[in-house]
Amino acid sequence: MRSFRPVAIAALLTAAVAACGAPTHDATANEHSAKPGDAIAAAVAAPTRSADNVARDTYRHPAETLAFFGVKPGDTVVELWPGGGWYTEILAPLTKAGGGTLYVAAPWERGLNRIKEKQAADADTYGALQLAEFPHAGANPKVPDGSADVVLTFRNVHNWRFGGTDNTANAFKQIFAMLKPGGVLGVVDHRLPEDMDSALEEKSGYMKRSSVVAFAEAAGFKLAGESDINANPKDTHDYEKGVWTLPPNLREGETDRDKYLAIGESDRMTLKFVKPAS
């Protein structure tokens, strides 16, 4: 019995501390121990997201995609070429809640105009965003070298490819520079099957996995993982008007509209690259 007395005393002390209220630092520790997946889920469910964007979650799988890339709410995150801000609507509340930093980088300034509109309409959600030029070409703000934990680009590598291989190589080189050692580059893009003509990369909106990997590895990245989260086996990849034949663009208008709606959004690769730690 005597050997158990210290345990009993410890239990009484623990109960007494609990009765008096937990220390402030313990409460803070518990708050910051929330799983990143929970924070991502909360950001995906943010009431500030537009209804039209939420409707596309079924194709874009944002919670699963961000979790696969290892995005954490306290990270310094860079979103490249955000377009209308589909992912910005998730990343802004995610980093705000976690004390992180979000850079949004695109051609200066036209590529950032729609993000500026969001900032003007909702400063509470988007006011802290850092705007930067990408690819950086001069005196405009840039993402500082070695500052980012994660760089994300969604359906953009094909846009860089339209400008030629040199432009694509430069984009990956600049991404490599902005990441910390050990940092992650997450890429989602429309997937061109490997047995199809590579020339289609210049006009179809689709990219071969091997091409994206080659550009990334040439810049110094290592492929760390890939996922079929955003795959769509219904996509035949062979449309006269390219990937924009499918929703949400539906460039054929009413022609075969139901057919393309049944296919859904494009087949996409989801690739995770890492900047080596040394």
Report the pLDDT averaged over residues 71-96. Answer: 98
> If we measure between CA atoms, which residue out of 221, 139, 212 comes closest to residue 176?
221
Per DSSP, the three-state class of 156 is coil
The pTM score is 0.86
Query: Picking from 4-13, 64-73, 185-194, 221-230, which range would have the lowest pLDDT averaged per residue?
Result: 4-13
What is the structure's pLDDT at 34?
Answer: 52
CATH 3.40.50.150 domain position(s) in the chain? 36-274
**From CA 190, how far away is CA 204, in angstroms rounded?**
9
What is the structure's pLDDT at 250?
Answer: 97
HSE-up of 150 (CA within 13 Å, CB side)?
Answer: 25
Are 116 and 88 a contacting pair, CB within 8 Å? no
Are 214 and 225 a contacting pair, CB within 8 Å? no
Angle formed at CA 208 by CA 162 and CA 240, multiple of 5 degrees: 65
- pLDDT above 90: percentage of residues in the chain: 83
- Per-residue pLDDT tens for 210-265? 999 999 999 999 999 999 999 999 999 999 999 999 999 999 999 999 999 999 99
Which of the listed CATH numbers 3.40.50.2300, 3.40.50.150, 3.40.1400.10, 3.90.480.20 matches domain 36-274? 3.40.50.150
**From CA 88, how far away is CA 69, in angstroms rounded?**
16
Are 160 and 167 a contacting pair, CB within 8 Å? yes
What is the structure's pLDDT at 24?
Answer: 34
- Per-residue pLDDT tens for 117-159? 999 999 999 999 999 999 999 889 999 999 999 999 999 999 9
- Binned at pLDDT 50, 70 and 90, residue 23 comes out as very low
Task: Examine the pLDDT at 31 and tell me if it is beyond 50.
Answer: no
Are 98 and 71 a contacting pair, CB within 8 Å? no
**From CA 159, how far away is CA 114, in angstroms rounded?**
18
Q: Are strands 222-227 and 268-274 parallel, antiparallel or unpaired?
A: antiparallel
Which string of DSSP letters, residue by residue, matches 207-234? EEHHHHHHHHHHTT-EEEEEE-TT--TT
